[in-house]
Amino acid sequence: MKTVREVSYEILRQEAMTTIFGNPGSNELPFLQDFPSDFRYILGLHEGAVIGMADGYAQATGRPILVNLHSAAGTGNAMGGLANAWNAHSPLVVTSGQQIRAMVGVEALLTNIDATQLPRPLVKWSAEPARAEDVPLAMSRAIHLASLPAPGPVYLSIPYDDWSRPSDPESARLIGRRVTAAGLPDNATIAALIERIEGSTNPVIVLGPDVDAARANGHAVRLAERLNAPVWVAPSAPRCPFPTTHPLFRDLLPAGIAAISERLAGHDLVLVFGAPVFRYHQYDPGQFLPTGASLIAVTCDPDEAVRAPMGDAIVGDVGAILAALADRVAQSARPAPELRKLFAKLPVSTGSIQPRRVFDMIDDLAPSDAIYVNESTLTTADMWQRLRMDQPGSYYFAAAGGLGFAMPASIGIQLAEPDRQVIAVIGDGSANYSITSLWTAAQHDVPVIFVIMKNGIYGALQWFAGVLGANYVPGLEVPGIDFVSLAQGYGLSASRAETDAQFQQAFAAALQARMPTLIEVTTAAKEA
């Protein structure tokens, strides 16, 4: 009779979940013993890095990924990354080793007390099987639930003596089982949506990350061109759902209520696909929509649909609905809107390099299908305005705004996309949250190019302090960090750039080398 562990690995194998990200402790060793040769284990030196790498891999592949953490302490270290995964709709199956069943009652060391409550509310489902024989069923349920719309992380706490127990013979029925979601609305719903769209005099489209997750970017382009409608990207977007060089592309929407209404003024219909309506940040009171405008949101997430403070919503398959609309909406006769303003490239730097100049140089040198992972939050607007991001899966950002995402996520994304170049642009404040990720990149020879924008401050916080009128705030400066030495200590090739020529030379060499490389760029604290 097969053990619980053997059946569980067979389930993982059938679901093509043979890459595992983890940082094990003693409770996890019985699961990992005699590790199968057709699996690979990507070790991170901190659970925050582990969850970030798995998040990036899951987003880039669109498939569920197994994450192996250690009891309560390991789960706690991963919670910040779990918040990003929850908001990004990343299908993570997070397992955590629990104490042996005989010791849980006395709360021995490494007991995960109230294990199912620990990761909430950042998971779709959290469980600890009542019996060892229930572990394969719980694993199967977790995989399918993580993948169903809206995708998201799930959590399993598993006592470590369960793995060696005999499995229930009926567990074999779980292997190869399929659970499928059918998310295209009925014809009447689609027809009613088309009628509203074609009855609009001046529609505008707002796209969110789930368009890119569905690889429906091309359908979004076709719909925009049929409507001759401008396209904005939803605030704080963690992915890029529309080509930034397309004539109908406008920009990233700001994250304030009044500011969004100002940008959308003059439109009578706001069509939102694959985004919350809306993810605000700074307090900017005003009307949720411009006067005279209505809104329709298409989302895969029922919670996003019901919590919206305005508009109608359709819950379904974002990609399928976009494709149906692009096929069936009539070609508009309205003139195309005014073309987006193009930003002139900056001249050669004469002092400290401005961030915008860094992006200009990257855009000149990087391959056209490059993937950008952003955690230089102060310069996000500049990235959207200056980098070509024309293909699906070209941009990733922390969906919950938590720092520590980009460095590990870029490794997971590069592992999932070995034929494309991943470029992680990270602020010097952000980089310290997950600096141990560099070790994993070096050990697995993952050829990410890490560009550290070093200005010695938490720039985004300084900006927000100005928004809030908060003066003389401590803790906003981070001087004296040598990222070149840190990277070299973890095994990476690293260099420092203080001039345009130095950066261009280092970046071109990194592209040619196809090995993990860090470039520390001394940038101006403020744009000129």
**Active site (catalytic) residues:** 25-26, 28, 47, 70, 281, 401
Give, for 92, the enclosing helix (H) or strand (E).
strand 92-98
3-state SS track over 423-463? EEEEEHHHHHHHCCHHHHHHHCCCCCEEEEEECCECHHHHH
Q: Distance between alpha carbon 177 and the CA centroid of its chain, in Å?
A: 28
* CA gap 272, 299 in Å, rounded: 8
- Sorted by sequence, the CB contacts under 8 Å of residue 310 that are 6+ apart come out as 277, 288, 289, 295
375's enclosing H/E stretch is: strand 371-375
AA identity, residue 425: V
C-alpha 131/C-alpha 126 separation (Å) is: 15
- The 8-class DSSP code of residue 492 comes to -
Cβ proximity of 251 and 384 under 8 Å = yes
Helix (H, G, I), strand (E, B), or coil: what is residue 206? strand
Q: Starting from the edge strand earliest in sequence, which strands make up the sheet with 19-22, in order?
A: 40-43, 19-22, 65-69, 92-98, 154-159, 126-127
DSSP, collapsed to helix, strand or coil, labels residue 157 as: strand
| Phi-psi group of 225: left, alpha or beta (phi > 0 → left; psi -120 to 50 → alpha; rest → beta) | alpha
DSSP H or E run through 243: none
Tokens, residue 107: 């709360």
Q: How many CB atoms sit inside 10 A of residue 249's CB?
A: 22
CB 411 within 8 A of CB 441: yes
Bridge partner list, 207: 233, 273
